[in-house]
Amino acid sequence: MSLHKSINLPFQEYSFSFAPFMKVRKTLLYSLLFLIAALQCLFIGGIIYEQQQHFYVLPFIILFIFLFASYFHSYIREYHIQYDSWQSGIWIFGGATMVWILRHHLYLDAVLATAITGVLAGLLPLIFRDNKYIAALPAAIYCGAFIAMTNIQKGYVFVLLASCFCFFAYILAKTIMNGIGGKLGTLAFIGVVLAYLLYYIVEWI
C-alpha cells in the first residue's frame, strides 16, 4: 500500500502542473481568434472605405461575430503551436526583402514585383523535389511579399518590423488558419497593422 502511494503521488502532482499551461494556451487561442477576425473585418472595411469613402458599422459587427464564431467552432479543439514552423517562417523576411528591392531599386510595380517573387518561390519545390524543407518555403516567402507590396513610406526598417510581427503571427496562428482562404494576406496585414501601431505609439510618446 505504501509503495502504491509513493508511485502515484508524484504522478498526480506532475499531471496537475499542466493546468496553468492549458489556461494560458486557451487564452492565447481566444486572443488570436479575436485578433484575426477583427483584422479581417478591418481589412475589408479599409478596402470598402477607400473605394466608397464611407461604410456602415452594423454589417461589420455582424461579419465579425460570424467570423469569430466560425473560427471558434472550427479550431477550439485542435489548436497547438507548431514551434518548428519558424524554420520556414524565417523566409518571410526573404520574401519581403526581395519585393522591396524589386520595387525600390529596380522600380518595378508592386503587383509585378510580388508576382515575380511568388513565381520564383513556387519554382523552388519543383527544383528541389525531394527536400521537405524547401517545399514549405513558398508560402512564407509569398506571405513576406505581401508585406512589401504595401504602399509604405517609412522605409525598409518598417518592412523589417512588420516582418517580425508577421513572423510571430505565422508561428502562433499557423494551426488555426489551415484551410482559411487569404491566410497569407491576413498574416501580412496583421504584421503591417501592428508595425504601424507601434510607430504611432512611439511618435505619440
Please report the pLDDT score of residue 129 as a whole number: 86
Are 118 and 50 members of one domain? no
Q: Is residue 36 part of a domain?
A: yes
Q: Are residues 91 and 137 in contact, defined by beta-carbon separation less than 8 angstroms?
A: yes
Q: Is residue 16 part of a domain?
A: no
Q: Is residue 15 part of a domain?
A: no
Domain count along the chain:
2
Please report the pLDDT score of residue 11 as a whole number: 42
Are 126 and 27 members of one domain? no
Instruction: Give residue 57's domain range.
Output: 21-75
Are 123 and 154 members of one domain? yes
The model's pLDDT over 81-129, given as tens digits with 9 standing for 90+, comes to 666 788 899 999 999 999 999 999 998 999 999 999 999 999 999 998 8
Q: Is residue 167 part of a domain?
A: yes
Are 147 and 178 members of one domain? yes
Over its length of 205 residues, how does the chain's per-residue pLDDT go in tens digits? 444 444 444 444 434 344 454 555 566 666 666 766 676 677 666 666 666 666 666 676 676 666 666 656 655 455 556 667 888 999 999 999 999 999 999 989 999 999 999 999 999 999 988 888 999 899 999 999 999 988 777 788 999 999 999 999 888 777 666 656 678 888 888 898 888 888 888 888 7
Beta-carbon count within 10 A of 79 CB: 17
Identify the domain boundary among 34, 53, 75.
75
Its pTM stands at 0.68
Q: Is residue 138 part of a domain?
A: yes
CA dist list (Å): 45 to 49, 60, 107, 110: 6, 8, 30, 22
Q: Is residue 97 part of a domain?
A: yes
Among candidates 84, 199, 196, which has minimal Cα distance to 147?
196
Among candidates 31, 56, 42, 4, which has minimal Cα distance to 172?
31
